[in-house]
Structure 1
Amino acid sequence: MTTRDPQAPQLAGLAALIADETRATCLLALLDGRAWTAGELARQAGVAASTLSEHLGKLVAGGLLTEERQGRHRYVRLADARVAQLVEDLVAQVAPGISRRPRTLRESSAGSAMARGRTCYDHLAGRLGITVTDALTSRGLLRQDTGFALTDAGLGWFETAGIRLDRSSRRPLARACLDWTERRPHLAGVAGAALCRHALDTGWCVRIGSERAVKVTPSGERSLAELLRIEAGALR
């Protein structure tokens, strides 16, 4: 008699949670790392608020989302970085097989903006993320030969740049995250999150549109050129 793996029900339950277009739309939207209201997600998914509420309840109960209430508003966000990594990894696996052409100019422009630069939960992705990761590597601040790891010089660089690293976090200090548009790894983990947060807080980068897309500002171009010797043309 075959003994069923005790993890099978949990895996099946997780797959069932994600295997719904409305819930998948919510998870993808929340990859921007911010908290969304139920109403905002309902509009994003194109469903009634009552329908969306039912889906959010399942995602919260399944541990993929957390929620908090402020007044009459219900806010949700991804439960943690592991959930974000799971969703992004799934996207990276299916993206090469997606060949549908953009249906509108707006959709095409949004896709191009996402490919140029975006946030992947709490770190930089797209060509921007790859360019920064390559610059860190070429300057000897980040190693990629045996997995991602900051060098001693890299730790010093973050300190000099005024980017605080939470060394007490249980998350890896540096982690490779496969970029689904570039098909190469970009920097994630504590260092990736700190760099992204610093870039947004200082105005090196700004969010554009309603998606996760970001662009580098003139101030960001100057700072990244000074700190990482990245030419402005590579950031546009």
Structure 2
Amino acid sequence: MKKPRKRPKPLPSREVFRRVKRMVKLVDREVRVGLEVRASLEAANTIIRSQPGIYYDAASCVSSIQGSQAMFLSLALAKLFELPHRSRGETHARRYNRSDVASIPLLVRLLKQERTRQHLVRKARRWTPMLKHSGDKNAKDCGDAIAAAIGAYDAFRKSKAGRSAMRRLQLFRNKLLAHLLVTPPLRVRSTYGELFRLMDLAREVVAPARLAIDGMNLDLPTYEKERVRVANVFWRPALKAAMSKEAQ
């Protein structure tokens, strides 16, 4: 007779709260890096597409830079959406509990726990002690932020395009990024569209999560807009010089 699996011992609440607080800061930092790289990719691509058919000697160098940035963005997203592999016979819960990985799926998993929500809502009541009667509003804002982060992630996971983007990213990480295979699998590399959709999801999760956990109201759209401006400041003169007749 097969022995029933032992239920994994839950993490102590103190450890859960510590992980959530540490994890959201690491994820926030990586999301900002990803947004900056995407801004550079989009800025350069927009300029290049606006001048089709132009041949210039530096084209291969520009292509290498773009490819390197796309690879870096793929690596950043692979880290952001990592789910640790479990050993044979090990439950997912046990594997995630013993993992030291900081990622969006693991952060959302902890945010879904009722004890985490209750802890964060209690903390939110003390966000603005200088403002009387603000506790209830802060608690509601915290609960709404948790729901928004979870909702964005779950909706993406339930969509066909979302599942495909995540599966392709995982295959890319496991089959191409970590190994140089003699016969690489087909259609493993993520498209720009898939990378950008995953980047949007990361932004949509981390902003409300950071509000719920730390009381910080992130303005990531404004941050990304500034990264796009800076990218254009670099790429416009760089590509103009590369495409000039003198450079050919």
The alignment's TM-score, normalised by the length of structure 2, stands at 0.21
Q: Normalising to structure 1: TM-score of the pair?
A: 0.22
More helix by share: 2
**Structure with more strand by fraction:** 1
Whose radius of gyration is greater, 1 or 2? 2
Higher relative contact order (CA 8 A, sep 6+): 2
